A = this chain, B = another copy of it.
Amino acid sequence: MSELPKYYVYKMRILEMIADLPPGTLIPTERTLALDFGTSRTTVRKAIGELVAEGRLTRTQGSGTYTGGPKITHVRQLTSFTEDAQAIGYTPSSEILEIEQLHVDASHAVEAGHMQLTPGAPFVRIQRVRLGNGEPLGLETACIPGELEGFEERLRERGSLYATLREDFGIRITEVEDGVETYLAGPEEARLLKVEMGSPLLRIDRTGFDDGGRVVEWTVGRFCGDRFRFVARTRAA
């Protein structure tokens, strides 16, 4: 591979083309660009596809392709999603998809393993979409060990998972460990996060501990790679 792939060359040309355009600006159609560049539409689609994955463009079937805005949100460990988003002028919200009271069986091997639960042990599973300015940012599936009476009503009331755990159940999460990896959107993520199949997401597996070092949270988060950034800060011991 001594030469640059064609699609990459056109990707760079489109980048130059949109460099000074404000977010939300319509760019020429795929078919027009293919004619202008003298290349196939498939090649143009690939160039645009990468720019969409990077958040530099967004595209809507039947409508067109538009310049995207800056990557505009991040989340820090152990600060509130709400506070972080608001700090950068972003209106955060959450949408609860499902809350289940469960008992560990064979299908929960992964969750149980992370929370060190034995078969039959109770836990709560919460699935929600995190939004910013009304747009999906991420999909989280949180598991909390324990019976947690009336959990659903209280969480719907308070909105915040950590606040509910602390105020209503006396569970304080004092330490978290996050594992961060790339992840490709499957059908569920594409649907719920409104992203293209196969687009790169940031997957964050979180383990939350209480004062005694017990695992009190296991959360799998999948966040839109084009809009989201994870920040962690650590002091040396």
Which residues of A does B touch, CB under 8 Å?
Answer: 1, 4-5, 8, 46, 50, 53-54, 71, 74, 77-78, 172-182, 184, 186-187, 190-191, 197-198, 200-202, 225-226, 228-236
Q: Are B202 and A182 in contact (CB under 8 A)?
A: yes
For A77, the closest partner residue in chain B by CB is B234
Residue contact A190 to B1, C-beta cutoff 8 Å: yes
Q: Which 5 A-B pairs have the closest CB atoms?
A: A182-B225, A232-B232, A200-B200, A77-B234, A182-B200
Please state if A181 and B202 are interface contacts (CB–CB under 8 Å).
yes
B175 touches A236 (CB 8 A): yes
How far is the CB of A166 from the nearest CB of chain B, in Å?
11
Q: Can you list 29 A-B contacts (CB < 8 A)? A: A1-B187, A1-B190, A1-B191, A53-B182, A54-B184, A71-B181, A74-B179, A77-B232, A78-B235, A78-B236, A173-B236, A174-B236, A175-B233, A175-B234, A176-B234, A177-B232, A177-B234, A178-B232, A178-B233, A179-B229, A180-B229, A181-B228, A182-B200, A182-B202, A182-B225, A182-B226, A184-B200, A232-B234, A233-B234
**Given A180-B180, A229-B181, A8:B197 Cβ within 8 A:** yes
Collect the chain B residues with CB atoms within 8 Å of residue A198's CB: 46, 50
Give the shortest distance, in Å, between A185 (CB) and chain B (any CB). 10
Please give 12 more A-B residue pairs, beta carbons under 8 A apart, in addition to A71-B181, A74-B179, A172-B236: A1-B197, A53-B182, A173-B236, A174-B235, A174-B236, A175-B233, A175-B235, A176-B234, A177-B231, A177-B233, A180-B231, A181-B225
